[in-house]
Amino acid sequence: MSVVSQNLTEIRQSIIDAAKKSDRQGGDVELITVSKTFSVEEIEQALEAGQRVFGENRVQEAYSKWPILREKYADIELHLIGPLQSNKTKEAVALFDAIHTVDREKIAKALAKEISTQQKQMKLFVQVNTGEEPQKAGIAPRDAVAFVQRCVEIHDLNICGLMCIPPFEENSGPHFALLAELAKKAKVKKLSMGMSADFQTAIEFGASHVRVGSAIFGGRG
């Protein structure tokens, strides 16, 4: 058995355990295996272990790996978890099944146009900058609810939930709690939150999607 396969088994068990602790079902939490910087060969170890849901943070890099893998494995679900430039919208809509980083009007508009042109079903998340960090993407918490409403009502986008990346040096819990509260106000159900270091905490706060990379593939160097 490969190390990746062993790690996946452990992470899946941790997800089930964390869910049980909060009276939730393990099956209510989707594991997104984050494969950014890892090679096609490394990703194949996860595919061989039965994993089908993956996350990448760059459109270009994803194009260099996933079209080949999709020819070999059916039912792959690919999530874009990194920032989206409006000039990459067409490529992003063509390759990905979900985008977690809708965070401004320009992107919402560009996505609406491409999704309609390509006639594609896409799951979309609005990214919230819960720590209000100037260098980080995401809409400010105070603007999040109104922005979700605009996305849904004006752009007719299928916003299913919210996503956040808490500040690196802070405790994640309060950020996850804030995201859950905003989702409730915005009337969206899904919460994309939690990475290798804090996915158990995220599950406690209601995560529906956890994004785990290094705990499965190892360090990115």
Near ligand PLP by CB under 6 A: residue from 165, 193, 202, 203? 165
Instruction: Please tell me the count of residues contacting ligand PLP according to CB under 6 A.
Output: 14
**Beta carbon nearer to ligand PLP, 147 or 199:** 199
**Beta carbon nearer to ligand PLP, 138 or 206:** 138
Near ligand PLP by CB under 6 A: residue from 18, 34, 128, 160? 34
Residue 207 φ then ψ, to 5°: -55, 135
Least separation in angstroms between residue 82's CB and ligand PLP is 6
**Beta carbon nearer to ligand PLP, 117 or 164:** 164
Single out the segment in contact with ligand PLP by CB under 6 A; choices: 4-12, 90-98, 132-140, 207-215. 207-215
Near ligand PLP by CB under 6 A: residue from 12, 36, 88, 150? 36
Residue 34 φ then ψ, to 5°: -85, 115
Q: How far apart are the first and last CA of the chain?
A: 23
Binding mask 82-101 for ligand PLP (x = CB under 6 A): x-------------------
Least separation in angstroms between residue 216's CB and ligand PLP is 8
d(CA 176, CA 107): 24
All residues at 6 or more sequence positions from 125 whose CB lies less than 8 Å from its CB, including other chains = 98, 99, 100, 101, 102, 159, 160, 161, 162, 163, 190, 192
| Coil vs helix vs strand at 192 | strand
d(CA 103, CA 32): 20
d(CA 123, CA 154): 17
81 in contact with ligand PLP (CB under 6 A):
yes
- Which is it for the CA torsion 131, 134, 136, 140, positive or negative? positive
34 forms bridges with which residues in the sheet? 55
Single out the segment in contact with ligand PLP by CB under 6 A; choices: 39-47, 106-114, 138-146, 209-217. 209-217
Least separation in angstroms between residue 144's CB and ligand PLP is 17
- Which is it for the CA torsion 144, 150, 153, 156, positive or negative? negative
- State the residues that interact with ligand PLP by CB under 6 A: 34, 36, 57, 81-82, 165, 195-197, 211-215
